[in-house]
Amino acid sequence: MDYITSVSKPLLVVGIAHGEPIAIFRTFIMKNVSLKDIAQKVGTSISTVSFVLNGKEKQVRISDILAKKIREVAKKEGYLPNKMAIGLKTGKSNIVGLVVDTISGRLFAALAEVIEKELDNHGYKVIYCSTGNNAKKGKELIELLYQHQVDGYMIIPAEGMEKEIGQLEEQGKPLVLIDSYFPKLKTAHVLVDNYGGISDAVDFLVKKQYKKIAFVYNDVAMIQMKERKRAYQEKMKGAGIKPLADWLLKVPFADAGEEQALKIELFLKKVQPDAVIFAANYLGIHGIEAIHNLKLKFPADIGIICFDDHEVFNLHQPAITVVKQPVPELAKTAVAILLAKLRKEPSSAPDAVEIKAKLIERQSTR
Amino acid sequence: MDYITSVSKPLLVVGIAHGEPIAIFRTFIMKNVSLKDIAQKVGTSISTVSFVLNGKEKQVRISDILAKKIREVAKKEGYLPNKMAIGLKTGKSNIVGLVVDTISGRLFAALAEVIEKELDNHGYKVIYCSTGNNAKKGKELIELLYQHQVDGYMIIPAEGMEKEIGQLEEQGKPLVLIDSYFPKLKTAHVLVDNYGGISDAVDFLVKKQYKKIAFVYNDVAMIQMKERKRAYQEKMKGAGIKPLADWLLKVPFADAGEEQALKIELFLKKVQPDAVIFAANYLGIHGIEAIHNLKLKFPADIGIICFDDHEVFNLHQPAITVVKQPVPELAKTAVAILLAKLRKEPSSAPDAVEIKAKLIERQSTR
DNA sequence: CTGAAAGCGCTTACAG
DNA sequence: CTGAAAGCGCTTACAG
């Protein structure tokens, strides 16, 4: 590790706040203060303290003086309830588990921000976990969340998670899937209108007189990708163009980035399409790399359009035309469904929602 | 919501797995099976079951037959230990809390992936939380993690979290800061060599004969940004160039993206530097927008260099020269420090590490 | 070799 | 108006 430039070993710091008098910190120090401690200090019982601190003093008719005293002491001592104990007792955690495929994906980042904010407004915290599209990890994570008594689940499902998701459902756990679902299960889900999005892309390219339109997708055998592919094939046929088998390129999801770019490069070189649809944003990114490497220019040499937007596409010169997923709407809708389930409301809203994607024309098509 | 395209209300699914016989699911169903249940089924005591399931059968000399039986029943019943109960009893959760500023940032995404994998190898799961650079939220999140008996903390500190971080330290909680730290506290931390990184950038530009080098930074009053600014000022002076006050632009972190781009645009228009250093990657992204809007070309009209890499910079044409943070090394080092603390090892490694950044020349400078 | 019992920190009927 | 007590599901000395 010749990387390390400068190191220093800090002093052992015990109870000292550098530059600050220790007394100030003492007041706010987080100790393991329990209800028992407070009860003793105040000279009352644990139950009374619990009632007051949970705002149930009126129901149980505890005197204002006592209640006030209890609150004061709790504050002074810096009481923080032990969530483990509460969870064990009540079976509730006020936590929602969000399971995603990869944490570095754009979809996740955009989703997470909205979901965290929305759920926070309702008193729920979010735990994130990522499966890396690995079935075993997915199973483990769901079990882990289950063991931690998570109240609700939001899952971007991956291959191989069908069984665990089915089990959560059987248990009646509040659960909503995002971005995909398993057709065999009737789990609540919200996702983009994949079929419609790719249909729009094909229509758009056909109207622009593109003829040889290629389609680059991945090997994730989930409904969202299947729908995109189906839309491509049906719409092409509808336009009177029969796409040859070799106009389609399936890039393994697990391949390294450079490997994917290389495969796309070879594909484009061989097939020489006049336009390409990339069925996922990361494929589009690798596609741009490939096109750069081939020294092709777009839209002059080739037209491109990508399903799902990304910062890169907007900033690129020329900017890339995309089919944009309404990610904030997806997130909000999913949260709304989950909240209804958490509240055990007779969900008035539909439990299976598709939201339209929107084609945004930029400069990567003629 | 005219966005909604098609909706359908699934059947109520209770104990039915569509297309699969119910019996198959029954076997694996996640019930709330407890030690007590297993003890009853086997006809032994809770403690014996606990010992066996925790692999302590040898220590306590439980007969192989009994142990085997217990394991069988546990498996058949789908026993999953209640982590709340374990946590309450042991005070351990096997969870590490990772607190970041924003979850959609590149730094977070790259860090999270490495951290999750490394900690997973050691039996720890990760909970992510984001503060949105809001001091109040930061405080709440640390408290929340504390209440959930998290075993260790990895924190990208933001302004206003000093007190809580000091408290964690006083409590002797395993804790390591990433990307920044508070000079007054001696908390373990690992970050990039900010001073060296910007120094290299200035040297590089000076060597390329740039004279009027501007510096765009933000108002986050944390050490990492202060160091970057200090490096700019000192190195410019060292090169015999006295940067005027108006060569520096401080962009409020809280501003919306377009607002930031606009401020940078006006700044560049007014100051007309021949090169700009952007002190954070998102500033560079807004800077590129601004430069596009001004119809300037780089490197012809202006040279640019950005602290911290981003997908956008590599894919942009021309690609942007950057000072790259060694994010995986940061993450690995931080995890190593934290693990030592979790194991209560007399940390042999240094507790304060700076890792060198690396200048990557691309095409945005002449 | 195995079990009864205490206790982690809470909540919440129940009794007074 | 307030307190004693049971119990959530575990772990772990302790006793036999």
Scanning B330-359 for CB atoms below 8 A from A yields 350-356
Residues whose CB falls within 8 Å of the CB of residue B320, separated by 6 or more in sequence, listed in order? B284, B288, B304, B305, B306, B312, B313, B314, B362, B363, B364
Nearest residue to nucleotide D12 when comparing alpha carbons to its C1'? Answer: B47
Rounded to whole angstroms, the Cα distance separating B47 from B53 reads 10
Give the DSSP letter of residue B288. H
Show residues of chain A in contact with B163, CB under 8 Å: 25, 28
Nearest residue to nucleotide D8 when comparing alpha carbons to its C1'? Answer: A89
Scanning B1-30 for CB atoms below 8 A from A yields 1, 3-11, 13-15, 17-20, 25, 28-30
Facing residue for A80 by CB, picked from B18, B147, B172 = B147
Give the DSSP letter of residue A44. S
Residue A37 CA and nucleotide C15 C1' are separated, in Å, by 25
Nucleotide with C1' nearest the B89 CA: C8
Single out the residue of B235, B249, B244, B242 nearest to residue B280, CA to CA: B249
Rounded to whole angstroms, the Cα distance separating A206 from B182 reads 58
Average pLDDT (B205-212) is 96
pLDDT of residue A313: 95
CATH superfamily of B194-325: Response regulator (3.40.50.2300)
In this structure, is the CB of residue B63 within 7 Å of any atom belonging to strand D? Answer: no
Instruction: Please state which of the four CATH numbers 1.10.260.40, 1.10.3210.10, 3.40.50.300, 3.40.640.10 is assigned to the domain occupying A22-81.
Output: 1.10.260.40
Domain A89-187 and domain A194-325, same fold? Reply is yes
What single string gives the DSSP state of each residue in A205-245? HHHTT--SEEEEEE---SHHHHHHHHHHHHHHHHTT----G
Scanning B92-151 for CB atoms below 8 A from A yields 93, 102-104, 109-110, 112-113, 116, 125-130, 143-144, 146-149
Quick check: A289 and B352 CB within 8 A? no
Residue B245 at interface with chain A, using a CB cutoff of 8 Å: no
Answer for the pair B231, B198: CB distance below 8 angstroms, yes or no: yes
Hey, where are the domains in chain B? 22-81, 93-187, 194-325
Residue B19 CA and nucleotide D10 C1' are separated, in Å, by 38
Quick check: A88 and B84 CB within 8 A? yes
Among A147, A162, A171, A362, the residue to mutate for chain B (most B Cβ within 10 A): A147
CATH class of the domain comprising B93-187: alpha beta
State pLDDT tens for residues B149-166: 899 999 999 888 999 999
CATH, range A89-187: 3.40.50.2300
Per-residue tens of pLDDT for chain A, all 366 residues = 333 333 333 322 223 233 332 223 333 445 679 999 999 999 999 999 999 999 998 888 899 999 999 999 999 998 999 999 999 999 888 999 999 988 777 788 888 889 988 998 998 988 888 887 788 888 888 988 999 889 999 999 988 899 999 989 888 899 999 999 999 999 999 999 999 999 999 999 999 999 999 999 999 999 999 999 999 999 999 999 988 999 999 999 999 999 999 999 999 999 999 999 999 999 999 999 999 999 999 999 999 999 999 989 999 999 999 999 999 999 999 999 999 999 887 665 668 999 999 999 999 999
Rounded to whole angstroms, the Cα distance separating B187 from A118 reads 33
Nucleotide with C1' nearest the A46 CA: D3
State pLDDT tens for residues B278-303: 999 999 999 999 999 999 999 999 99
Residue B64 at interface with chain A, using a CB cutoff of 8 Å: no
